[in-house]
Amino acid sequence: MTARRGPVRVAGTIGETAPPLARSTLDRAAHRRADPQWLAEAWERARVLVLDSASDGRALVRGDGSPPELVLLASGELPQVPRSVPMFLGVEPDGVPVFAVDSPLPELPGTRAAHLRDVGHLLLDRDAGIFTTALALINWHVRHGYSPATGHRTQVDEAGWSRADPDGGRSWPRTDPAMIVMVHDGVAGLQGRCLLGSNVTWAGTSGRRRYSCLAGFVEPGESAEAAVLREVHEEVGVTVEAITYVGSQSWPFPGSLMLGFVALADPEHAVHVDPAEIASARWFTRREIGAVLAGRRVDVGKGDELALPPPSSIALFLIHRWLDGHC
């Protein structure tokens, strides 16, 4: 018999132990997903997160400070019939089950609609885990309504954790592995440098240009470390070594798992960008990165100032680790 695992607590903040969207206190209780009697009883006493797939997966939060609080409703408080069947996320440490539904957000005093990208790093561990899991699951359902084998329409099953077609064919949620790497020169102190790139798909605001860690999807038959080596060379023409795994986090936009690495490279080697993917890439010193994080302007040419990745990303987590000398 397989042992039933209790809640897994992955806690931390930027600069500590875990990337911002890798935190959770929820027991997923997977053995309950195929127990309709238990699920029906659990729904009656559940806390429910409402997500609106039509508004890019926003949910309600309460409070403008840090941390904001994720709004969960009692199952009997839902203002309308949701688009989706209830999806079972797990059980809280106090024993209360948690579900998610896809539905227009209700209008509640003192609340606002928020995106995980914008508030994920501010949420407490419990709320970060619930929001991330719910968004990843609902995004999978929105994009996988038909069987890849038969083309038949599928229905939600196992409390949201699979879809089945009329012939009993079943599919389960998939996550696409992607690597992301902080490439640096191994030099300590303010003159140590890291290599960041600006992707061609990023629409820059006037006067600002975002640079981030290099990233890409792991290809079939490839290890994550091999993907690091390949992607960096393809995107900027640089060869890296001493590839070291740091940690991972979900990036449910719509369904990736970001595997974070650090690697060494020689800044004296020329950078040659792939213009189909990278608009610009260059080395930055710790002094420059620290200045941006302190709110000061760093010029990157053509009158633009340097902008860094959003705070809920693993990219900024890796940048903070490097800045603080942890790699």
Domain enclosing residue 257, as ranges: 176-323
The rounded mean pLDDT for the chain is 92
> Among residues 52, 30, 50, 38, which one has the least CA distance to residue 161?
30
How many structural domains compose the chain? 2
Last residue of a domain, one of 143, 168, 203: 143
The band of 17, judged by pLDDT with boundaries at 50, 70 and 90, is confident
Q: Is pLDDT of 10 > 90?
A: no
319 lies in the same domain as 206: yes
319 lies in the same domain as 180: yes
Q: Are 131 and 116 in contact (CB under 8 A)?
A: yes
- Tell me the pLDDT tens digit for each residue of 92-132: 999 999 999 999 999 999 999 999 999 999 999 999 999 99
pLDDT of residue 122: 95
* 171 assigned to some structural domain: no
* 310 assigned to some structural domain: yes
* 160 assigned to some structural domain: no
132 lies in the same domain as 210: no
51 lies in the same domain as 118: yes
Buried b (16+ CB within 10 A) or exposed e, 131-161: bbbbbbbbbbbeebeebeeeeeebebbbbbb
pLDDT of residue 205: 67
Q: What are phi and psi of 146, to 5 degrees?
A: -130, 150
291 lies in the same domain as 184: yes
Last residue of a domain, one of 97, 122, 143: 143
Q: Are 188 and 247 in contact (CB under 8 A)?
A: no
288 lies in the same domain as 182: yes
* 125 assigned to some structural domain: yes
138 lies in the same domain as 180: no
Distance from C-alpha of 82 to C-alpha of 104, rounded to nearest angstrom: 8
Strands 305-307 and 208-210 come out as parallel
The band of 166, judged by pLDDT with boundaries at 50, 70 and 90, is very high
Last residue of a domain, one of 91, 122, 143: 143
* 151 assigned to some structural domain: no
* 148 assigned to some structural domain: no
pLDDT of residue 13: 36
Read off the CATH number of the domain in which 292 is found.
3.90.79.10
259 lies in the same domain as 319: yes
* 130 assigned to some structural domain: yes
78 lies in the same domain as 187: no
Q: Is pLDDT of 252 > 70?
A: yes
34 lies in the same domain as 116: yes
Q: Please name the amino acid found at residue 213.
A: C
Percent of the chain with pLDDT over 70: 94
* 211 assigned to some structural domain: yes
pLDDT of residue 251: 97
180 lies in the same domain as 316: yes
200 lies in the same domain as 134: no
- Tell me the pLDDT tens digit for each residue of 206-245: 789 999 999 999 999 999 999 999 999 999 999 999 999 9
